Amino acid sequence: VKIITGDTDNHLMLINVKESFNMTGIEAEKILDSINITVNKNTIPFDTESPRVTSGIRVGTPAMTTRGFKEEQFIKVANIIYQALSKKNNLEELRNEVLKLTSSL
């Protein structure tokens, strides 16, 4: 997965979903929203898509830390996001994983 921000110096990451998953930011945003993970479509440097469509998404950590998530849960969320965007799993299964994860804390 191509992280535009280079690393994670702060609580935000900008991910190039066009290059990483061959989809637009708005498509990625809708897929993740369907499994109850909220991200925002976001333009990336030298974006070829319009600002309404975008080639990236912005992922932040404050909502997860507010819920009390620790490293183990962050890894699970990252894996769920990857599986959803790479279309390796059924979205209903992933939605259930998110529900299980958020109700366990």
Residues 6+ away with beta carbon under 8 Å from 60 = 11, 12, 13
**pLDDT tens-digit profile, the chain (105 residues):** 888 866 656 778 899 999 999 999 999 999 999 999 999 999 999 999 999 999 999 988 888 888 899 999 999 999 999 999 998 779 999 999 999 998 876
Note whether 37 and 98 are within 8 A (CB). yes
